Amino acid sequence: MADTMQKDLVLSTNEFAYVLDETKGHVSCLVGPTKMSLSQSDTLVRFDEKNKRFIPCSYEQAKQLVKVVPENWYCILKNPIKDNKHPNPGVSNNLPDSVLVGKKINIRGPVAFALYPGQMAKVIRGHALRSNQYLLARVYEADEANANQGEIIDAEGNKVSATATNYVNGQILVIKGTEVSFYIPPTGIEVIPIENNVQLGYVREAVTLERLEYCILKDENGEKRYKHGPDVVFPEPTETFVTSPKGGYVFRAIELSPISGVYVKVIAEYTEGEKKFPIGTELFITGNDQMIYYPRPEHAIITYDGKIVHHAIAIPEGEGRYILNRLTGEIKTVKGPQMYLPDPRFEVVVKRKLTPRQCNLWYPGNAEVLKYNNNLSEKSVEKATKDINTELTAYMTVQSMADSLAYLETNANISRGTSYTKPRTITLDTKYDGVVTLDVWTGYAVNIISKDGTREIVCGPRTVMLDYDQTLEEVQLSTGKPKTTDNLIHTVFLRHENNKVSDIIDVETKDFVKCSIRVSYCVDFLADYKDKWFNIDNYVKYLTDRQRSLMKREAKKYTIEEFYQNYVDIIRDIAIDKINSDKESIEKIGRFFKENGMLVYDCEVLDSEIESQIFDHQRNMVEQALQLTDAEKTVEVTEKLSEAERKQNELNNLRLIHKMELQREEAVRKLEIQNEINRKKEAETVAEKQAEKDMQTLLDEIKTAELARKQKDADLQLAIKRAEAEIEKAKKQAYADTVVKIMSAVSPDLVAALTSKANTEMVAALEHAVAPYAIATEDQGVADVVARLTKGLPIEEAISQLVQK
């Protein structure tokens, strides 16, 4: 830096630099063209506009270009000098005392000037506006703005004087392109950049609306303003455009038709023509009211599932829909063909859920219907009616309005092609969405019952659409042959024409012969008794039981042969009540049941088990006759054979008697011999028993003698032991007495002599034992070794005496 400061500072035209005098702290502005030799106390500096400080810099960084403001441009100068003075070129300029710190002025071009130390300037192009553009400006110094309104150029390019306006600090101005084509703000007014970002520019685009387009402007006080096209819309200073999440400010109007509409709620009272709409009023606007709908600030659009436009539902021929009145709860049935547009203020389209039993009865064998109704929960059935008693409070907020309008922008556009296209084609899949519909086939009937008690019997072929409170009456049909209630068929369809019922009837004739007959009844239900058709829930069981009872009673009047010859006519006459049929005022002859209007007009006897029984009986009779003839022919032979057999039997009997006599005699002899043998065996047995008894007595005596001998031996042994004990005791006493005598006879001298002899022998033994040890020690004798070893022992004294000797 020191080398740099020694150089000369050379500035060309349009250049200037700041020099700091480090001794005084003054910063001077050197404006070219000029040359200056820098001293040791001079430092080149540069003004940092962000930190508002002077910072040292290099030679090249110190050079700055003067601010050049071209024509139709302007410069915003901060901290100007009084009377708008600028540094003089070619000299060093000190900062004058008349600087206006904190003040800001606008300078129009063309002009070029250097900046005093601490000044800041921004050069901006003049704002050229098209008719659909505008500027936002802010008044920051009202007095200056009122005094320097200057001149502006109108939309035709003419300079006009601005009208006198009393500006207020902070006031926001809208400079419209329809009024001003070129604008340079005077001192006291600044143009606000877009989103306060100079990089984005200053000129804003107004909203250009075509036909069927509109935009919404929201004021700071919450009021909204709707503008319809064709028009160019400029916001007021306090207004902003409502923007959709996808961007943009233009929305399309809603195209309505007689079969579409929008549901709105009045959130601000207003008057249209002579009609007044108070707050809270709900309106359903359709194409009959207005074909094109523009939202207005007094309306809040009520949406369902995010949908704004409500469309009519197509109800084809033979179908219908259930419509619920939200206010009264009444459900009505609307039948096609028509395009029905429900009024969402009062009407809701509902679905009817059938129970699994109803599905099986009303649509037998249709698994698809059962699956659909099982998946149809009660919540989904009443989805449209769950908020009937709940007041709608979620009105259109700023965000919800934006979302709704974004939906309109993307989905409610009127887009129609200019070239020929095929007619629009739609597919109606309303199989399960509409009214419960049943197809009643030819020859069948159903009984429709309402909850108020009324009923209607409908005969096919016909398609029936049930109201929401209507159901079908169930009938039961017995099955099997013969008919029983073990396996019932449940249905709602009654076969009232050309119905056939088969059965097996077990009867018993007068001669107690049982037989079974298979019959088939032809049954009709008379139209005159239509209201009684469903009075009996199981007409099959009722019919068969009655017919069985009558036929069993009739069969009891005939034998099996009589019954077999005419059983077809008998059964048929009873089945159709041929005798009494003419007395009934009915269209056909037959057995009539007043209970439910049922008529059995024919009976077909298919087959029976009587034929087989008769055939079996005849065959048995022939067989018996043949057997009788054979029996007569064989009687004579049998008699002769019998006589011969008798004689033969007599001979056989005599031979047998003789043989039996012989056998008896032999048996008697054998019995006598056996008795004799038995007597001998008994005598032997008695002798053996007596011998055993005698032996037992002898054994007892021997045992007694043996015990006596043993007792004598024991007594002898005891006596011997006692004698030996006495002898031993005597010996011990004698020994003790002898010892006492001996001890008393021993004198002290004898004791000393004995003791001395014993000690001598003992010492000799010790000497012999320790001799090897004494030899090993070499310096000790045997006596010394013995005396040392016996030290402290009882024989120590005796050893000492012997050693001394």
pLDDT digits (tens, 9 = 90+) for 739-767: 667 666 545 665 565 566 666 666 666 66
Q: How confident is the model at residue 353 (pLDDT cuts 50, 70, 90)?
A: confident
Q: What is the pLDDT of residue 780?
A: 58
Within a domain: 429: no
Distance CA 639, CA 646 (A): 10
**Which sign, positive or negative, has the C-alpha torsion 252, 257, 263, 269?**
positive
239 and 266 part of one domain = no
Q: What is the mean pLDDT of residues 534-540?
A: 93
757 and 791 part of one domain = yes
Question: What percent of the chain is modeled with pLDDT above 90?
Answer: 31
Q: How confident is the model at residue 427 (pLDDT cuts 50, 70, 90)?
A: low
Domain closes at, from 391, 411, 431: 411
E strand intervals along 529-639: 591-593, 598-608
201: left (phi over 0), alpha (psi -120 to 50) or beta: left
Q: What is the pLDDT of residue 615?
A: 63
Question: Considering its fold, how many domains does the chain have in total?
Answer: 7
576 and 483 part of one domain = yes
- Contact present, 560 and 614 (Cβ < 8 Å): yes
Distance CA 700, CA 708 (A): 12
The mean-pLDDT minimum among 386-395, 511-520, 596-605 falls in 386-395
CA-based R_g, the chain, Å: 72
pLDDT digits (tens, 9 = 90+) for 247-276: 788 888 989 999 999 999 999 999 988 899
The DSSP 8-state label assigned to residue 537 in this structure reads: S
Element (H, E) at 657: helix 610-745
Distance CA 93, CA 97 (A): 12
Say what the pTM is: 0.54
- Dihedrals φ, ψ of 555, to 5°? -65, -25
Q: Is the peptide bond before 110 cis (omega within 30 degrees of 0)?
A: yes
- What end-to-end distance do the CA atoms of the chain give, in Å? 134
Q: What is the mean pLDDT of residues 574-593?
A: 73
- Contact present, 29 and 92 (Cβ < 8 Å): yes
Within a domain: 441: no
Distance CA 753, CA 759 (A): 10
Q: How confident is the model at residue 614 (pLDDT cuts 50, 70, 90)?
A: low
pLDDT digits (tens, 9 = 90+) for 264-322: 999 999 998 889 999 999 999 999 998 999 988 899 888 887 788 999 988 888 888 98
Within a domain: 438: no
Distance CA 177, CA 159 (A): 15
More confident residue, 388 or 7: 7
Distance CA 559, CA 14 (A): 149
What is the CA angle 787-789-791, rounded to 5?
65
Q: What is the mean pLDDT of residues 582-601?
A: 77
- Contact present, 308 and 301 (Cβ < 8 Å): yes
- 216 closest CA partner among 413, 405, 409: 405
**Which sign, positive or negative, has the C-alpha torsion 556, 560, 562, 568?**
positive
Q: What is the pLDDT of residue 105?
A: 92
Range picked from 148-152, 443-447, 479-483 for highest mean pLDDT: 443-447
Averaged pLDDT of the chain: 82
623 and 557 part of one domain = no
Sorted by sequence, the CB contacts under 8 Å of residue 552 that are 6+ apart come out as 505, 506, 507, 508
Query: How many helices (H) and strands (E) are present in the chain, helices listed first?
Result: 13, 52
Q: What is the pLDDT of residue 719?
A: 87
- 505 closest CA partner among 496, 514, 497, 516: 516
- 229 closest CA partner among 213, 215, 217: 213
More confident residue, 26 or 5: 26
Within a domain: 432: no
Q: How confident is the model at residue 686 (pLDDT cuts 50, 70, 90)?
A: confident
pLDDT digits (tens, 9 = 90+) for 191-221: 999 887 777 889 999 999 999 899 999 998 9
- Contact present, 177 and 156 (Cβ < 8 Å): no
537 and 654 part of one domain = no
Helices 560-576, 539-555: inter-axial angle, 10-degree rounding: 140
Helices 782-789, 748-777: inter-axial angle, 10-degree rounding: 110
Distance CA 538, CA 549 (A): 17
CATH of the domain at 532: 3.30.479.30
- Contact present, 795 and 762 (Cβ < 8 Å): yes
More confident residue, 525 or 158: 525
600 and 625 part of one domain = no
Sorted by sequence, the CB contacts under 8 Å of residue 330 that are 6+ apart come out as 324
Q: What is the pLDDT of residue 767?
A: 65
Tokens (6 digits) for 20:
């700091």
Do the bridges between strand 470-472 and strand 591-593 make them parallel or antiparallel, or are there none, so unpaired? unpaired
Distance CA 85, CA 701 (A): 178
Element (H, E) at 776: helix 748-777
108 pLDDT higher than 50: yes
Q: How confident is the model at residue 529 (pLDDT cuts 50, 70, 90)?
A: very high
534 and 558 part of one domain = yes
Do the bridges between strand 8-11 and strand 34-37 make them parallel or antiparallel, or are there none, so unpaired? antiparallel
Other beta carbons less than 10 A from residue 722's beta carbon: 10
Domain closes at, from 364, 379, 411: 411
Q: What is the pLDDT of residue 613?
A: 61
384 and 266 part of one domain = yes
Q: How confident is the model at residue 393 (pLDDT cuts 50, 70, 90)?
A: very low
Q: How confident is the model at residue 401 (pLDDT cuts 50, 70, 90)?
A: very low
Other beta carbons less than 10 A from residue 787's beta carbon: 17
Residue type, 469: D
147 and 182 part of one domain = yes
Q: What is the mean pLDDT of residues 154-179?
A: 76
What is the CA angle 337-342-348, rounded to 5?
115
More confident residue, 366 or 46: 46
More confident residue, 367 or 615: 367
Q: How confident is the model at residue 564 (pLDDT cuts 50, 70, 90)?
A: confident
Range picked from 213-222, 350-359, 627-636 for highest mean pLDDT: 213-222
- 185 closest CA partner among 133, 212, 153, 150: 150
Q: What is the mean pLDDT of residues 413-434?
A: 51
Cα Dmax for the chain: 191
628 and 726 part of one domain = yes
278 and 406 part of one domain = yes
Sorted by sequence, the CB contacts under 8 Å of residue 245 that are 6+ apart come out as 402, 403, 406
Q: What is the pLDDT of residue 27?
A: 92
Torsion of CA 531, 532, 536, 537, to 10 degrees: -10
Q: How confident is the model at residue 690 (pLDDT cuts 50, 70, 90)?
A: confident
Q: What is the pLDDT of residue 405?
A: 46
Tokens (6 digits) for 326:
């939200």
484 pLDDT higher than 50: yes
Q: What is the mean pLDDT of residues 455-476?
A: 91
- 308 closest CA partner among 297, 295, 296, 318: 295
Domain closes at, from 411, 443, 463: 411
Within a domain: 427: no
Q: What is the mean pLDDT of residues 78-97?
A: 90
Distance CA 108, CA 116 (A): 19
35 pLDDT higher than 60: yes
Q: Is the peptide bond before 230 cis (omega within 30 degrees of 0)?
A: yes
Q: What is the pLDDT of residue 203?
A: 93
The parent domain of residue 163 ranges over 126-205
Q: How confident is the model at residue 578 (pLDDT cuts 50, 70, 90)?
A: confident
Distance CA 570, CA 549 (A): 14
Q: What is the pLDDT of residue 749?
A: 60
Strand-pair partners of 524: 599
Sorted by sequence, the CB contacts under 8 Å of residue 137 that are 6+ apart come out as 172, 173, 174, 175, 185, 189, 190, 191, 192
**Cα 413 off chain centre by:** 40
**Which sign, positive or negative, has the C-alpha torsion 756, 757, 762, 768?**
positive
Tokens (6 digits) for 209:
């609306």
- 444 closest CA partner among 521, 366, 524, 532: 524
What is the CA angle 660-661-664, rounded to 5?
85
Within a domain: 266: yes
| Helix/strand/coil for 3 | helix
- Dihedrals φ, ψ of 566, to 5°? -130, 25
DSSP string, 397-450: -HHHHHHHHHHHHHHS-----SS--PPP------TTTS--EEEEPBTEEEEEEE
231 and 133 part of one domain = no
Q: What is the pLDDT of residue 607?
A: 73
pLDDT digits (tens, 9 = 90+) for 500-526: 999 999 888 888 888 888 999 999 999
Within a domain: 194: yes
- Contact present, 8 and 38 (Cβ < 8 Å): yes
Within a domain: 425: no
Distance CA 686, CA 692 (A): 10
What is the CA angle 749-752-753, rounded to 5?
85
Element (H, E) at 34: strand 34-37
134 pLDDT higher than 90: yes
- Dihedrals φ, ψ of 220, to 5°? -65, -20
Looking at the chain, how many residues does it have? 805
Q: What is the pLDDT of residue 413?
A: 40
